[in-house]
Structure 1
Amino acid sequence: MQRIDIHCHAVPPGYRQYALDNGHEKPDGMPALPAWSAEQHIALMKRLNISKSILSITSPGTHLSTNHDEHAASMTRQTNEELSAVCSNHPSHFGFFASLPFPCIQESITEIDHALDKLGAVGFAVLSNANGVYLGDKALEPVFEKLNARRAILFIHPTTCNLLVSGAAIQTMRPLDEYPRPMMEFMFDETRAIANLLLSGTVSKYPHITFIMSHCGCALPSIVDRIGAFATLTTGGESQSDEFRKLLRERFFFDLAGFPFPDQIHGLLRILGKGGEQRLIYGTDYPFTPEKVVIGLAGQMDEGCKKLFDADQKSAVYSGNAEKLFGFQTPPKDVEF
């Protein structure tokens, strides 16, 4: 069955050197920046019948020069141009989410127009927090106004929890530091960011932004009712749980990168309700998830989907929902990927 991969990453040469120069040779406690090339990626796509992959830069992102916003904006532009060139060289295989130099405001607004109008980005990849500024922060409202005006797709990826402390310093949080932070901490940080987007009213205020949440909703399905109930402490009135569930059903897509099967998927489908499979999209997290593991997870997903979905629903999850979201054309069945 054909797949469209909306959660996968690139580590092109320019960005790799930029990350290494800024001390991220082991990003977020991982063993290393993985090797990546367009040719290796395309070979995996052919093996798994992936017709299109949407590349993005993952954590730690492109704002790696703390307190040097101009340099961070310049490197974000260079990285976006590097990804755009990869896509131009392989247009039938790749699209890309452009990065933004969050938390820089004007530089991010400028990059939105450039990426959409000049580079051909299909949307934007942002991290759950940008140097301690979380999505939903009032400081980012001008950027969300711009994203809303451009009817943008916003792919949200988790990162390490960072806190702003005295003197605008940034403190990186490393609980259980013997374990790489993508194992657990990423799930908590993106849940925190999505909760803040809901609680701050950002999702409601900007109705023309389509959000993609990573990793099958992270920990959000387990605590969305708790978040909605506690919202009454600051807003008064009744629990906002039902409103938050409605926003998740109508404004969000959820990628299945990681380990949604055999258990995690059930919590997400429960809060999405009837037709929830229409909000699911396929993802591999390659190359940060190694090829061998990606292939194994694809087989696990096939088995899990057989138990949950009929053929049409499974096709929607694997490719149809992404085709509608991005306006992709379905390739003829006899086309070899």
Structure 2
Amino acid sequence: MTPPTVDVHAHVLLPDVESLVAGLPGHAEAKEVDARRNGPAALAVNGPMVRARVPRMTDVALRLASMDAQGVDVQLVSPSPSHYHYWADEATAEKVYRLANEATAAHCAQAPDRLRGLGLVPLQHPGHLVRALDHALEQGLDGVEISSHAPGRELSDPAYEPFWSRAAERGAILFLHPFGCTLDERLDRWYLSNTVGQPTENAVALSHLIFSGVLDRHPELKIVAAHGGGYLPTHIGRSDHAWSARSDAGAGCAHPPSSYLRRLYFDSLVHDPHVLRELVRVAGADRVLLGSDFPFDMGTEDPVAALRTARLPDADFHAVRGGNAAALLRKD
């Protein structure tokens, strides 16, 4: 039976979350940091771009019409990363993740056969992560979306161990989607904050998970890396060399870094058929999932056509188009 076409990288906008945090201590400062990192030219484009796409991120009927036009049967919907709000204190963070989880679940519930959802957890407060993950799953969501780091914490931080354990135990999907890049003003022109910043953050975050041994300790984790995992899959040979040549690089993980790519999942959003073919080669055709970044301008309006340009063998094409995601989501 032909699997459904499943897009694992699609976003929902949650206005109630932004209303919740507006004016709270720390919110203005976080927006200032974001503005500085992006630069004025990017902000001038971002505003109209996002406003034009708000209807498709909030109105389920418009979302479904767009999916029909793309030939997409199912979307795995995650909150816009602008809703992370990792600056928030514990009380505010709990309100944010509860509201985000419930609102995302309500959005998806309007078309349960076609929309699956992911929630949020407050990475800045490790003690809340297990409870937040459980809350997301209780809403009927399939897992949660996380960024590449939280202020002062990398994903290799030992404080996250209970979270990894719980996610593995419950079979939750963890969608690794960066928001912002700590290279700051070095990327504040030509939209480098996104074009260079996002794949850099992906590569750094995945390297922390690999080199620290997180994937050794929690081999059942279901981590899906946005943007094809950034720069890491196409430069994994350098990581393997460091692991074998240097005691400090090889101390934390049991196997060559390249072997862990086959324990992760990656979306197909790399904007280059040659890179997509390489991603399939190094990670395996069973580990790549269709992704569009719906409906943002750095995504693709036709993810299936983008996948076809890679000219994969038919079995691999259909696996990436939807078979892998259907299995991951336990959909027949």
SS in 2 for 1:175: helix
Distance 1:278 1:219 in 2: 20
State the partner residue of 1:6. Answer: 8
State the partner residue of 2:328. Answer: 325
Q: Is the 8 A contact 1:230 1:239 kept in 2?
A: no
SS in 1 for 2:6: strand
With structure 2 as the length reference, what TM-score do the two structures score?
0.83
Q: Is the 8 A contact 1:279 1:321 kept in 2?
A: yes
How many residue pairs are counted as aligned between the two chains? 308
CA RMSD in angstroms, aligned pairs only: 2.7
Distance 1:40 1:220 in 2: 35
Unaligned runs of 5+ in 1: 163-171, 330-337
Distance 1:44 1:137 in 2: 40
Q: Is the 8 A contact 1:61 1:127 kept in 2?
A: no
SS in 1 for 2:73: strand
Distance 2:160 2:251 in 1: 28
State the partner residue of 2:295. Answer: 287
1:298 CA displacement: 4.0
Distance 2:302 2:168 in 1: 38
State the partner residue of 2:186. Answer: 175
Distance 1:200 1:178 in 2: 33
Deviations 1:258-295 (A, max 9, x none): 51x233213323323xxx212111011012237xx633
Distance 2:187 2:222 in 1: 34
With structure 1 as the length reference, what TM-score do the two structures score?
0.82
Residue correspondence of structure 1 range 138-287 to structure 2 within 5 A:
138-162=158-182, 173-180=184-191, 181-231=193-243, 233-235=246-248, 243-249=256-262, 251-259=263-271, 261-272=272-283, 276-287=284-295
Deviations 1:141-175 (A, max 9, x none): 2221222222322111122234xxxxxxxxx7231
Q: Is the 8 A contact 2:199 2:230 kept in 1?
A: yes
1:128 aligns with 2:148: yes
Q: Is the 8 A contact 1:129 1:161 kept in 2?
A: no
Query: Does the C-alpha gap of structure 1 residues 39 and 131 become closer, same or farther in structure 2, counting only changes over 3 Å?
Result: farther
SS in 1 for 2:64: helix
Distance 1:62 1:238 in 2: 32
Counterpart among 287, 301, 305 of residue 307 in structure 2 = 301
Identical counterparts, % of pairs: 24
Letter aligned with residue 300 of structure 1? A
1:113 CA displacement: 1.4
Residue correspondence of structure 1 range 79-118 to structure 2 within 5 A:
79-116=100-137, 118=138
Q: Is the 8 A contact 2:222 2:264 kept in 1?
A: yes
1:214 CA displacement: 1.3
SS in 2 for 1:212: strand
1:243 CA displacement: 3.0
Q: Is the 8 A contact 1:103 1:131 kept in 2?
A: yes
Unaligned runs of 5+ in 2: none
Q: Is the 8 A contact 2:146 2:174 kept in 1?
A: yes
